[in-house]
Each structure stands twice: as C-alpha cells, then as structure tokens.
Amino acid sequence: MKKQNPITEGMIGKFMDNLFTNIQNNNRSRNQKALKNDPELKRLEADLAKAHDKLRDTIARRKAKLGY
C-alpha cells in the first residue's frame, strides 16, 4: 500500500491566502465605523494589509521558483 500525502504545498498556500483574505475582509466590515475615529485601528489595519500582500507575493515567488 502506498501512503498518500493529503496536504500539499499548494493547498497550504491557498489556505493561508484565503485565511488572511477573510480576516482582512471581516475586520474591515466589522470595524468600518471604528476606522473613521480610531487612529490605532487604522494603523493596525494598514499593517495587516501590507502583511497580507507580502505573504501573497512570497507564495507567488515560491510557486514560480518550484514550478507550481
């Protein structure tokens, strides 16, 4: 019997991308009113967006490097 590896790197990358996208979208929708008045929340949301974009770029570069 051959062992199967149910988790591949592509699946993990898609999961992480979707996870951060959902977090970003949910935070944005829940805190839309607070974003208008809270400078700390504005800064944190901007940091999250930058981290998300950096993660997506890293995943894309690794996929290109490995040929996925």
Domain locations along the chain:
39-63
pLDDT above 90 (res 57)? yes
Claim: this prediction has a pTM higher than 0.85: no
- When comparing pLDDT for 30 and 45, which is higher? 45
What was the pLDDT predicted at 51? Answer: 96
**pLDDT tens-digit series, residues 9-27:** 677 788 888 888 888 777 6
Report in angstroms the alpha-carbon separations of 31 from 2, 14, 40, 50: 49, 25, 12, 18
